[in-house]
Amino acid sequence: MEATRNPAATPSAPAAPAARAPRAGLLARRQKAAKSRYEDAPAWWGVMAWVIGLIAFFPVFYMVITGFKSEADAVNLPPQVIPFPGNDGAGQPAGSTSIEDAPTLPGDTDDGGSFWFVPTLDQYRAVVGQDFFPFFRNSAIAALGSTALVMVLAVPAAYGLAIWPVKKWKDVLFFFISTKFLPAAGVIVPLFVIYSPNGDPELFTRGLGLLGTMRGLIILYTAMNLPIAIWMLRSFFEEVPRDVLDAARIDGANIWQEVTQVMLPMVTPGIAATAFLGIIFAWNEFFFAISLTAAGTSTVPIFMVKFVTSEGLFWAKLAASATMAATPIVLVGWIAQRQLVRGLSLGAVK
């Protein structure tokens, strides 16, 4: 019987590596095809992207350069967008005593048709001289404090709704987000009554005494940003594979260990993105801040209102203060850009 066997019918050992070769080749061909699609993209796509990007960036660019102009240059038409350095910031060269010594800007004409201007730091000196930093400190305290409180409350709520959903959890989520439907002007009067020291005597209630305090502003910003944070974090928690959680539970991990050692490290980009958005919303908020704060607790948006007076708009000082207000947020976003991109794109591709 052994002599009648066909040796060619017996499978050989190298068959398994040979079976993997077509799969590896197929993957390589797909990667090459995907790369070629990007390389063969029309050049005008890139040109269009640059044009759209420059159009979107131009308001920010104009705000920054306006902060380096004098008030007269800030309202000139056509707008002057190209700085011409070489001055001491006062409109004349260093050491000059007469207007004849002032430099002639490139393309300068008698009708003011030049696109060049002489940069100056006078507006920034004026902004700092009007006690900008106390307002900046108040904004930082309100934004960071409310965001920290939002994350403490939103993480367990989002974890529970994503991993251990309750009955009618969709209604719970809708209730959270429905609090954002009401306009701010519709709740300002009840908030003012609740925050005031006396409350509403007709209802025999006493207020919380939070009017004009940083604590009241932090609590309000927390309530304002909490629904959005819960929605975002829940979507990030849902992207964590259930197999990972099952493996952690088999290894004996309790809920605290599951959250702190498994879930949070995996959704760190999402947490960073959520926290950054909370900081932005709290930093830029104006309506509640101007309605419920006092002189010592005003924030940066209220400081900028100083330059909108009955005498007119001080465009250069307003642009300088806006640049100083936006710089910290831009720096934080630039430092955390990798985490932000990963967090905002988490779950986009499965």
- Sequence spans of domains, the chain: 43-92+104-125, 128-344
DSSP 346: T
Q: Does pLDDT of 21 surpass 50? A: no
Confidence at residue 15, expressed as pLDDT on a 0 to 100 scale: 46
Q: Does pLDDT of 107 surpass 60? A: no
Q: How far is CA 266 from CA 141, 150, 271, in A?
A: 29, 19, 10
Within 10 angstroms of residue 60's Cβ, the number of other Cβ atoms is: 13
Confidence at residue 167, expressed as pLDDT on a 0 to 100 scale: 81
Orientation of helix 337-344 relative to helix 315-335, angle to 10°: 80
Q: What percent of the chain has pLDDT over 70?
A: 74
**pLDDT (tens digit per residue) in 79-90:** 777 777 754 444
Nearest to 315 by CA among 126, 111, 82, 109: 126
Average pLDDT, the chain: 77
Choose the weakest-confidence range: 70-79, 161-170, 200-209: 200-209
Q: What percent of the chain has pLDDT over 90?
A: 11
DSSP 181: T
pLDDT band with cut points at 50, 70 and 90 for residue 52: very high
> Sign of the CA dihedral 134, 135, 136, 141?
positive
Mean pLDDT value across residues 121-125: 89
Beta-bridge partner residues of 313: 308
Tell me the residue ranges of DSSP E strands in the chain: 82-83, 116-117, 308-309, 312-313
Mean pLDDT value across residues 206-214: 83
Confidence at residue 272, expressed as pLDDT on a 0 to 100 scale: 86
Q: Does pLDDT of 142 surpass 90? A: yes
CATH 3.60.21.10 assigned to domain 128-344? The reply is no
Q: Does pLDDT of 221 surpass 80? A: yes
**pLDDT (tens digit per residue) in 237-265:** 888 888 888 888 888 888 888 888 888 88
Peptide bond into 17 cis (omega under 30): no
Cα distance between residue 218 and residue 293, in whole Å:
11
Mean pLDDT value across residues 280-294: 88
**pLDDT (tens digit per residue) in 267-279:** 888 888 889 889 9
**pLDDT (tens digit per residue) in 293-344:** 888 888 998 988 888 877 777 888 888 999 998 888 888 878 777 766 665 5
Confidence at residue 10, expressed as pLDDT on a 0 to 100 scale: 46
Confidence at residue 145, expressed as pLDDT on a 0 to 100 scale: 94
**pLDDT (tens digit per residue) in 64-105:** 988 888 888 888 878 777 777 754 444 444 444 333 444 555
Q: Do strands 308-309 and 312-313 pair parallel, antiparallel, or not at all (unpaired)?
A: antiparallel
pLDDT band with cut points at 50, 70 and 90 for residue 153: very high
Mean pLDDT value across residues 118-128: 87
Q: Does pLDDT of 165 surpass 60? A: yes
Q: Looking at per-residue confidence, does 20 or 285 come out higher?
A: 285
Radius of gyration of the chain (CA): 30
Q: Does pLDDT of 219 surpass 50? A: yes
Amino acid identity of residue 174, one-letter, is F
pLDDT band with cut points at 50, 70 and 90 for residue 35: low
Q: Looking at per-residue confidence, does 72 or 108 come out higher?
A: 72
Mean pLDDT value across residues 215-233: 90
